[in-house]
């Protein structure tokens, strides 16, 4: 049982993969991502690992005959990579050297490029889930990359809004947002030559940092050596500052957003879209969680119990402390 099931209420698809329910519980003294497991090379810095229980595959099974009426299915075509950041089971992204982080960014770029070459893929999405608070069961430092054969709904909404803004205002929404955050200053967290990190005016999560680029990059394919170095720097600084903020491993979900691929509808995305990163951290305090309750989950109407200008100030102080010691 593996297919894409159409949701007519949202004009969207749900990825269904019944085989994932058969994922075994790993023994406490075993990790498939560690050297010596037999699953990965005995020596590596960063590594692309084929997901053992993928939601999507390039050889999907036949869909189940269960659709009818307003419902239909599509084959669960796509790609699911696991990206291993380090061979160190207890390592942290911010502990990696600049050279090591550059290798990680280059691996993301290589995988983005290769997955994009498949004409059936419409969107390539690198992401990371970190911490038990967001459901992570494998502590070994890693992220994932999904190549979707459909356009994910939230990405599609953002693209349509950015496209409309460009047509109506003759300017790029991401550039204008960044210009306003830089003008206002109080929500800025950290910046280097290429990237700026800030908590946006409308933040849905108290410590939800966005990273925008200043160089009109639309996707990984636009990166040059200086952009790779700056991207490694800002990721190291932000993740390290998160951990320093409450002196603990800081949980988050992180999405890396590139322009669509193989898309006629968004063939001009380079005009109105910009490469960016979003963090979705569930903490609202050292020991308190900002749960997504009924308003957020059932209606999609978010509420933030903290003010962006205040939490950005806390994170700027954390950045200063991180930079003093690293």
Q: CA 277, CA 289: separation in Å to the nearest integer?
A: 22
Q: CA 226, CA 283: separation in Å to the nearest integer?
A: 33
- Dig out the tokens for 310 from the structure: 């205040």
Q: Which residue has the tokens 């830089």?
A: 182
Catalytic residue among 140, 142, 227, 276: 142
Query: What radius of gyration do the chain's Cα atoms show?
Result: 20
Beta bridge partners of 147: 79, 124
Report in angstroms the alpha-carbon separations of 164 from 122, 167, 256, 271. Answer: 20, 5, 22, 12
- Dig out the tokens for 202 from the structure: 């409308």
Residue closest to 198 by CA, chosen among 251, 234, 149: 234
Phi, psi (deg, nearest 5) at residue 188: -70, 145
What are 298-306's contacts with CB under 8 Å, separation 24+? 302/204, 304/203, 304/204, 304/205, 304/206, 305/206, 306/206
For 46, counting Cβ atoms within 10 Å of its Cβ (0-12 exposed, 13-18 middle, 19+ buried), the class is buried
Active site annotation includes 142: yes
The catalytic residue positions are: 142
């Amino acid at each position: 049982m593996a297919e894409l099931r159409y949701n007519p209420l949202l004009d969207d698809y749900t990825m269904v993969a019944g085989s994932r329910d058969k994922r075994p519980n790993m023994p406490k003294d075993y990790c498939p991502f560690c050297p010596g497991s037999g699953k990965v090379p005995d020596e590596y810095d960063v590594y692309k690992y084929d997901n053992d229980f993928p939601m999507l595959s390039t050889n999907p099974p036949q869909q189940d005959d269960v659709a009818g009426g307003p419902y239909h299915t599509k084959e669960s075509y796509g790609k699911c990579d696991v990206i291993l950041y380090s061979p160190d089971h207890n390592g942290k992204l911010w502990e990696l050297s600049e050279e090591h982080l550059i290798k990680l960014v280059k691996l993301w770029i290589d995988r983005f490029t290769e997955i994009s070459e498949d004409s059936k893929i419409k969107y390539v999405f690198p992401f990371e889930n970190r911490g038990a608070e967001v459901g992570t069961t494998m502590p070994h430092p890693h992220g994932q990359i999904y190549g979707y054969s459909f356009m994910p709904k939230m990405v599609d909404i953002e693209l349509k809004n950015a496209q409309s803004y460009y047509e109506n205002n003759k300017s790029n929404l991401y550039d204008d947002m960044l210009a306003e955050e830089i003008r206002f200053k109080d929500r800025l967290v950290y910046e280097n030559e290429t990237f700026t990190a800030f908590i946006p005016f409308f933040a849905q999560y108290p410590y939800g940092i966005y990273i925008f680029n200043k160089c009109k990059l639309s996707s990984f394919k636009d990166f040059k050596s200086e952009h790779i170095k700056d991207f490694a720097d800002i990721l190291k600084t932000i993740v390290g500052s998160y951990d320093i903020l409450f002196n603990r491993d800081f949980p988050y979900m992180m999405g890396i957003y590139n322009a669509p691929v193989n898309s006629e509808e968004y063939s001009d995305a380079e005009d109105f879209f910009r490469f960016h990163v979003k963090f979705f951290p569930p903490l609202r305090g050292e020991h308190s969680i900002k749960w997504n309750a009924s308003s957020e989950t059932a209606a999609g109407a978010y509420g933030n119990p903290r003010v962006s200008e205040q939490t950005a100030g806390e994170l700027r102080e954390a950045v200063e402390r991180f930079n003093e010691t690293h």
